[in-house]
């Protein structure tokens, strides 16, 4: 049996309703096979590609091609054909093993120069771009690039490093994720609290209210210099809060400045069925207040000891250290029956990653978010 002749048809022009219907109607009437189809519309301009199979016994499929050309001209479209050589395809060396990745780029730096830097890194890494789409409406503030990359995960790690270097002086956040089913089926989002979910460091505000902010800041400086680990610095700072009235502590919980966009982000996540939580090295009085206010499913933080209506200056065990944060995330995932690769943790260092950008990392388009928010 003679193999069907494979032809790649590319159609471009103004996008109007009915184009795909009309073209596939011609194919159906001529008994052509449809092997692949992809379409994209940018600013009202259509690009439609169809990979078709034509019966070589029917004058190399000329009736179908002539009908397509006539239809395209009548609809004001440009059309090009490329005949694929079946014999050449069959003798090609099998392609090397590749992995698929999603590169998400977000920020004001996505100018022509910014996109060029990203594309240049991808080209030098021999990445094959399969699809590019904008996730933001209006201005170009986000891109999702689906690509295939030869080699193992080490190649992806190097790609991530090179992308970060290339965009270091631009306002662009870059994420590289494996393009698998689990990337689009996240089920649990947990985040840090201080300077992430809220715009302040709670312990600094408590220290300011208690008149010891300079001494607390000095301990923080020593911790940042590596002189103290997290638990040592936490206990030392809390000790300076001894004698602070509990009512004064609670007054801060009633006025926590939630990060812009956090309420909207959490509303979207709830509608989509995500479990959400805060896991913080801060304090439970604030974390619990946020849980109640924002509808979080989980809240874990450190417990301040209180006696006779005042703070004792001690933190109750166990302290939420970085390792305990990881353990708590794992425990929540197990309780909910969620695989760890279906979780997202937003921690320290995410202070400049705005909440709408987190939704982009989930692959959500801005118009989808707007629809949910009404």
Separation CA 204–CA 194 (nearest Å): 10
- Rounded CA separation 233/237 (Å): 6
- The answer to whether the beta carbons of residues 50 and 64 sit under 8 Å apart is no
Residue pair 261/281 in contact (Cβ under 8 Å)? The answer is no
CA distance 357 to 8: 37
Residue 292 is among the residues annotated as catalytic for this protein: no
**Residue tagged active-site, from 15, 36, 153, 192:** 192
Closest by CA position to 118, among listed 56, 182, 173: 173
- Of 194, 229, 297, 330, catalytic: 194
To the query of whether residue 194 is one of the catalytic residues in this protein, the response is yes
Mapped to the 3 state alphabet, what secondary structure does the chain carry?
Answer: CCCCEEEEEEEEEECCCCHHHHHHHHHHHCCCEEEEEEEEEECCEEEEEEEEEECCCCHHHHHHHHHHHHHHHHCCCEEEEEEECHHHHHCCCCCCCEEEEEEEEECCCCCHHHHHHHHHHHHHCCCEEEEEEECCCCCCCEEEEEEEEECCHHHHHHHHHHHHHHCCCCCCEEEEEECCHHHHCCCEEEECHHHHHECCCHHHHHHHHHCCHHHHHHHHHHHHCCCCCHHHHHHHHHHCCCCCEHHHHHHHHCCCCECCCHHHHHHHHHHCCCEEEEEEEEEHHHHHHHHHHHCCCEEEEECEEEECCEEEEEECCCCCCHHHHHHHHHHHHHHHCCCHHHEEEECCCCCCCCHHHHHHHCCCCHHHHHHHHC
Structure tokens at 74: 């009548």
- The residues annotated as belonging to the active site are 192, 194
């Amino acid at each position: 049996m003679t193999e069907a002749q494979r032809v790649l048809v590319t159609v471009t022009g103004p996008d109007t309703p009915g184009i795909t219907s009309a073209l596939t109607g011609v194919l159906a009437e001529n008994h052509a096979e449809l092997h692949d189809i992809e379409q994209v519309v940018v600013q009202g301009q259509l690009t439609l590609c169809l990979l078709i199979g034509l019966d070589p016994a029917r004058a190399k499929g000329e009736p179908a091609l002539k009908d397509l050309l006539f239809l395209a001209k009548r609809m004001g479209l440009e059309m090009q054909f490329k005949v694929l050589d079946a014999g050449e395809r069959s003798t090609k060396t099998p392609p090397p093993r590749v992995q698929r990745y999603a590169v998400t780029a977000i920020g004001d730096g996505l100018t022509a120069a910014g996109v060029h830097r990203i594309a240049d890194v991808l080209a030098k890494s021999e990445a094959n771009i399969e699809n590019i789409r904008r996730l933001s409406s209006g201005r170009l503030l986000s891109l999702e690039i689906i690509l295939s990359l030869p080699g193992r995960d080490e190649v992806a790690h190097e790609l991530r490093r090179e992308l970060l270097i290339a965009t270091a002086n631009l306002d662009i956040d870059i994420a590289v994720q494996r393009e698998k089913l689990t990337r689009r089926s996240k089920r649990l989002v947990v985040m840090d609290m201080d300077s992430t979910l809220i715009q302040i460091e709670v312990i600094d505000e408590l220290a300011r209210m208690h008149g010891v902010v300079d001494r607390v800041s000095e301990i923080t400086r020593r911790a940042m210099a590596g002189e103290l680990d997290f638990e040592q610095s936490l206990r030392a700072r809390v000790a300076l809060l001894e004698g602070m009235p509990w009512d004064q502590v609670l007054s801060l919980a009633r006025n926590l400045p939630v990060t812009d966009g956090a309420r909207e982000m959490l509303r979207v996540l709830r509608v989509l069925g995500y479990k959400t939580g805060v896991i913080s090295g801060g304090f439970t009085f604030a974390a619990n207040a946020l849980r109640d206010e924002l509808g979080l499913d989980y809240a874990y933080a450190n417990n301040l000891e209180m006696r006779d209506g005042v703070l004792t200056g001690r933190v109750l065990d166990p302290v939420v250290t970085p390792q305990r944060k990881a353990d708590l995330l794992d425990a929540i995932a197990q309780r909910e029956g969620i695989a760890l690769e279906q979780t997202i943790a937003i921690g320290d260092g995410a202070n400049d990653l705005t909440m709408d950008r987190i939704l982009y990392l989930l692959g959500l388009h801005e118009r989808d978010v707007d629809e949910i928010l009404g």
